[in-house]
């Protein structure tokens, strides 16, 4: 399979750095980073990534709102939510909005990789 292109969306740069170092050990390329949901919508339209890995709690526009916009723009968009423990209450909402998976932080590297490879193997366009 070709390189998997992803964008990382989190308001905390250390979290983006942590995920970047995990995925770059695999056949996955980080093509962009955003620190809020609004930037993520913009980046998605510019870069057409295979996968978006997105936090929920962010300034300007949160991850659920961003997910809604991205899925409205591209109904086949593959978005994996990645959010803090205590935010399980958002899981159902995220899945209803079309999220492919929901990873709780703190996460194991293998959980991130398996969520990404599973999501790219599914094509519902």
Binding site for Mg ion (CB under 5 A): 11, 55, 57-58
Q: Minimum CB separation from Mg ion for residue 10, in Å?
A: 6
Cα distance between residue 85 and residue 91, in whole Å: 11
Nearer to Mg ion, 76 or 86 (CB): 86
Structure tokens at 23: 């995925």
Tell me whether residue 74 or residue 91 sits nearer to Mg ion (CB atom).
91
Contacting residues for 86 by C-beta, under 8 A, at least 6 apart: none
Shortest distance (Å) from residue 74 CB to Mg ion: 23
In the chain the first and final C-alpha atoms are separated, in Å, by 18
Q: Which is nearer to Mg ion, 10 or 120 (CB)?
A: 10
């Amino acid at each position: 399979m070709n390189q998997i292109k992803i964008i990382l969306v989190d308001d905390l740069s250390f979290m983006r750095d942590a995920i970047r170092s995990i995925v770059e050990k695999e056949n996955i390329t980080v093509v962009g980073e955003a620190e809020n949901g609004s930037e993520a919508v913009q980046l998605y339209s510019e870069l057409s990534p295979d996968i978006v890995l997105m936090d929920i709690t962010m300034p300007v526009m949160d991850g659920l709102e961003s997910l809604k916009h991205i899925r409205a723009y591209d109904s086949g968009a593959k978005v994996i939510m990645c959010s803090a423990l205590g935010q399980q209450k958002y899981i159902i909402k995220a899945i209803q909005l079309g999220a492919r998976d929901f990873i709780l932080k703190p996460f194991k590297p293998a959980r991130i990789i398996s969520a990404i490879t599973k999501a790219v193997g599914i094509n519902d366009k």
